[in-house]
Structure 1
Amino acid sequence: MDNSSNENVINLEQPSDMLTDLIRNHARQLIKEALELEVAEVLQEFQERRLADGRQAVCRSGYQPEREIQTGIGPVPVKVPKIRSRDGQPESFNSALVPPFIKRTRSLEAAIPWLYLQGISSGNMCTALEALVGPEAKGLSANTVSRLKQQWSDEYNVWRQSDLSKDEWVYIWADGIYSGLRAEDEKLCVLVVMGVNQRGEKHFLAIEDGVRESTQSWQEVLLKLKNRGLKKAPKLAIGDGAMGFWAALDKIYPSTKQQRCWVHKTRNVLNYLPKKSQSKAKEMLHDIWNADTKKDAEKAFDLWIKVYQDKQLKAAQCLEKDREELLAFYDFPAVHWQSIRTTNPIESAFSTIRHRTKRAKGCLSRVTMLSMIFKVGMCAESQWRKLRGFESLAQVIRGIQFKDGVELNKKEQKAA
C-alpha cells in the first residue's frame, strides 16, 4: 500500500495507559456525537408524519444496550440510539456508522464487503479496516483483499446452487435492491428472495442480478429455486406490487397466495397526494391493516376510497387495484401478521446499502457486486431470530384454514 496514505496516521501501538484512556474516551464521545447527528437526520425525514393530536409519529426511544466496537485503539463502548413509532407502522434506526451486524463482530468477513460496498477501494481497505476492527486488520494488503473477494465469489457460486429440498419453505419475501452502485455500464438491480422454513428459520434463498420490473428476470430466479429443490409451492409470497415477480410467480408457483407489502403500497399511494393531505391519508391507511378482522379492514378500505376517489382518483386506483392481495394476511395466523404484511425482513438486511446517497467511485463488476452483497446478506442472516410464532407454521403447512388470524374449528373448516 502507498506509504503516503499513512502520512497523517499517529502510531498508537504502545501508548501509556493514561493516554490510551484519554484517546478512547475522546473516540467514544466522537462516535456518540456522530450517532446523534445520524439519528437526528433520520428523524427529520419523519418530521411531517404526525399523529391526530399533532405529536410526531416517530420519536426517540432511548438506546440499544451498550456494546463494544473494535477500533485501532482497542474496544470502545458505544450506545446506539433507538427510535420508535407511535402510529403502528414499525420504524427502526439502522446506523450506517455502526451497522448492527458489523458492530457485533470483529470478523473481517463482515467488515470488508460492507466497506467495499461503501465505495472504499482495495488499496485503501487496510486503513479503513484498522479503524473499524483494530489490529486484526494490520498488514492486510490490497492483494489479500483481492484474494478474499475471489474466495467469497467462489462461496457465492456454491451457495447459489445449494440444495433447498431438505426444508419446506412456508413463506417467501421478494424484493429488488438498487444499491446506487454501477456494475460495468449500467445500474443493475439485485433480485432477492428470502424464505422461512418449517422450523421458523429465515434464510436468503436467492441473490441474483436482473431487472426488477421484468417478468423474465424473476421467472429465471424462481426456476432456479425450483431446480434447487423448492418444488412445493410456498403458502404465501410477500412483495411490492410494482415488480415483474407476480407474473413470474403465477407461472412457476400458481397456488401460492400473494400479499402486497403495505410499506411500499403506502408510499406509492401517498406519492399521488399533496403533502398537506398525506398525514391524514396515512393514518387512514393504517386503520385498514391495523383492523382486527378482515371485515373491519374492508370497511376502513371502503372509507378511504370514498374519501379520496373524487379528488385524488389516481391514489384511490393505486390502492384499489391490489385490494385482495393487501388483505391476504388475514387468512394466516395473527402471530405472523407483523412479519408477512411487509418486505421489512429483506429491507432491514440491506438498509445500509440501499439508503446510500453517494455512489462509489468507479464501477463494480457484476460478479464483485453480487458476491459482496451476498457476503453482507450472510452476515445479517447470522443474526436473525426465528419467526415469531413459528410453532403455528405446522398448521399452515397442513393446510389448516384461518379466519382473521384464528384457526377455524373442524366444522368451520368443512363449511369454508
Structure 2
Amino acid sequence: MPKRGEFLEGVDREVDPVEAIGRLGARLILQQALEDEVTEFLGRVRYERAADPISHRNGYEPRTVKTTSGAVELERPRVRDAQRLGFESKVLGKGVARTHALESLVICSFLRGLSVRDVEAALAETFEEPMIAKSTVARVCSETAERYRRWCERRLSEHDLVYLFLDAIYLKLRPDDEPAEGVLVAWGVTLEGQKVLLGLALGSRESYESWLSFGRDLIERGLRSPALVIADGAPGLWKAAQQLWAQADGQRCTVHALRSVTAKLPERHHREVKARWWRIFDEAASPGEARRELLASGRRLSRHLPLGRGGDRARSGRPGRPPALAHRAPQAKSGARISLSAPSSRSVAARRSFGRFPGETSALSLIWAVLELSS
C-alpha cells in the first residue's frame, strides 16, 4: 500500500492543492477500498497469519484510473491464483468503465460534510450492487474529520510570515447552480520561502464580518502580522484586513488585477497586454516606476476600449483597492511576482473541479486533507 506521503506526490510542488482535492478524495477512499476487499476475500488483514489460508497477497501493481478530476494513481493489491479462485476486484474489475460514477459517489460524501449516510445513499442510487464497504467509507470519513478538527485548533505562533494570501472559493451543488458555499482560505509565505496553509472557514468573499471572524481566529491562535497582505479587490475583505493587520502593507493580487484589465479589452489584445503587464512587474525598479509604466500602458490601450466598457477605471484602477505594486516595498524584501495563483487558489479552476459533484455544505475536511498529509 502506498506510504502516507505518497498520496500527495506532486501536490506540494507546482500543482495547485485546491485543484488536487478531487483526485485526493478519490484516491484515499478507492485505495482503502482495494485493500479492504482483498482482506475480506482472504479472511485476514495484511501480515496476519492463518492456519489454512485460502491464498496469499502477491504484491501490488500500479493502476491509473481516469476521473473527472484527472488521473488517479492507485496501487492495486494482487492475490495469488486470483483467477483460479474466482477473485475479481469490484472496484477496479470489469466495472472500471464506470469510474466517473464511482468517483462521484465517493467524493460527494465529502462535499456533503463527510456523512456516511450520504455515501450509502449514493451507492444505492448508482449501483445495483455495493462496490465499497460501508465500513471503509465510515473509517476514512471519521479519521479525516477528527484530524481536521485537531488541525483547526493548532497554534500558529511558529510561523514568521512575510506574505499573507487571502482568497475565497465557492462550491456549487451542480454546474449550472449558483454558488452554494464560500470557503475562505488563508496562505502564508515565511521568511524561509515556505508556503503554509494557515486556515479554512466557511464565509462570503464579500462579507466584512466573515473575514474579520476568520482573521481573529488566526490571530487568537498566535499568528503574527505579516509584512504584506495580498488579496483580490473585495471591499469587505480589505476593511477587515486593515483592522486586523494595521501595520502590514496591502496589495491587490496581480492576477485578479490583470483579469480586470483584459476583461475590458478585445481578445486580440490579451496576449500583448499580459506580456507587457508581467514585464512591468518583473523589471520595474520601484513602485513609482511600475505605476508610471502601467499608467502609460493604460493610455495606449484606452483607444482599443469600446465605448461604455470602463476605460477610465481600466487605466486608473478601482477606488478603495490597494494597488498591485506593494511587493516592491522595502519591508517585503522580495522582487518576486506575487499573486493568489501562487501558492494556492485558482478559484476558476477550483469551481470547475467542485462543480461536477453534488454537495450541500463544504469540502473543508477534504481541502485540509490535501495539506495535512503533506506535512
8 Å Cα contact 2:228/2:332 also seen in 1: no
8 Å Cα contact 2:295/2:316 also seen in 1: no
8 Å Cα contact 2:212/2:240 also seen in 1: yes
Counterpart residue number, 1:254: 246
Following superposition of structure 1 onto structure 2, how do residues 311-330 of structure 1 map, counting pairs within 5 Å?
312=305, 314-318=310-314, 320-321=316-317, 325-330=323-328
Describe the SS at the equivalent of 1:203: strand
- Select which of 140, 144, 149 maps to 1:152: 144
What is the aligned residue count?
A: 274
Counterpart residue number, 1:200: 193
Counterpart residue number, 2:370: 376
8 Å Cα contact 1:173/1:237 also seen in 2: yes
* Counterpart residue type for residue 359 of structure 1: R
Counterpart residue number, 1:97: 70
Counterpart residue number, 1:356: 353
Q: Distance in 2 between matches of 1:339 and 1:309?
A: 25
How much identity, in percent, do the aligned residues show? 26
Whether 1:278 and 2:270 are equivalent positions in the alignment is yes
Gaps of 5+ in 1: 1-69, 79-94, 107-111, 127-138, 383-416
8 Å Cα contact 1:181/1:360 also seen in 2: yes
- Note closer, same or farther for the CA distance 1:165–1:288 as it changes in structure 2 (3 Å cut): same
**Aligned-pair distance for 1:119?**
7.6
- Note closer, same or farther for the CA distance 1:149–1:353 as it changes in structure 2 (3 Å cut): farther
What's the CA shift string for 1:81-138, capped at 9, x where partnerless?
xxxxxxxxxxxxxx9423xxx65999xxxxx999615989735999xxxxxxxxxxxx
Describe the SS at the equivalent of 1:193: strand
8 Å Cα contact 1:259/1:340 also seen in 2: no
**Aligned-pair distance for 1:318?**
4.0
Describe the SS at the equivalent of 2:276: helix
Counterpart residue number, 1:287: 279
Counterpart residue number, 1:331: 329
Counterpart residue number, 1:75: 62
Q: Distance in 1 between matches of 2:209 and 2:75?
A: 38
Describe the SS at the equivalent of 1:285: helix
Counterpart residue number, 2:5: none
Describe the SS at the equivalent of 1:167: coil
Describe the SS at the equivalent of 2:343: helix
Q: Distance in 2 between matches of 1:174 and 1:364?
A: 24
RMSD: 4.1
- Note closer, same or farther for the CA distance 1:240–1:105 as it changes in structure 2 (3 Å cut): farther
Describe the SS at the equivalent of 2:193: coil
Q: Distance in 2 between matches of 1:267 and 1:301?
A: 14
**Aligned-pair distance for 1:212?**
0.7
Describe the SS at the equivalent of 1:213: coil
| TM-score, structure 2 as length reference | 0.60
- Note closer, same or farther for the CA distance 1:354–1:76 as it changes in structure 2 (3 Å cut): same
8 Å Cα contact 1:194/1:204 also seen in 2: yes
What's the CA shift string for 1:120-171, capped at 9, x where partnerless?
9735999xxxxxxxxxxxx852333133212222222221121112332222
**Aligned-pair distance for 1:345?**
0.4
Following superposition of structure 1 onto structure 2, how do residues 159-238 of structure 1 map, counting pairs within 5 Å?
159-181=151-173, 187-230=180-223, 232-238=224-230
Describe the SS at the equivalent of 1:174: strand
Describe the SS at the equivalent of 2:290: helix
Following superposition of structure 1 onto structure 2, how do residues 5-24 of structure 1 map, counting pairs within 5 Å?
none
- Select which of 89, 100, 116 maps to 2:107: 116
8 Å Cα contact 1:96/1:352 also seen in 2: no
**Aligned-pair distance for 1:229?**
0.8
* Counterpart residue type for residue 356 of structure 2: R
Q: Distance in 2 between matches of 1:244 and 1:342?
A: 17
Q: Distance in 2 between matches of 1:104 and 1:229?
A: 39
Q: Relative contact order: is structure 1 or structure 2 higher (C-alpha 8 Å, sep ≥ 6)?
A: 2
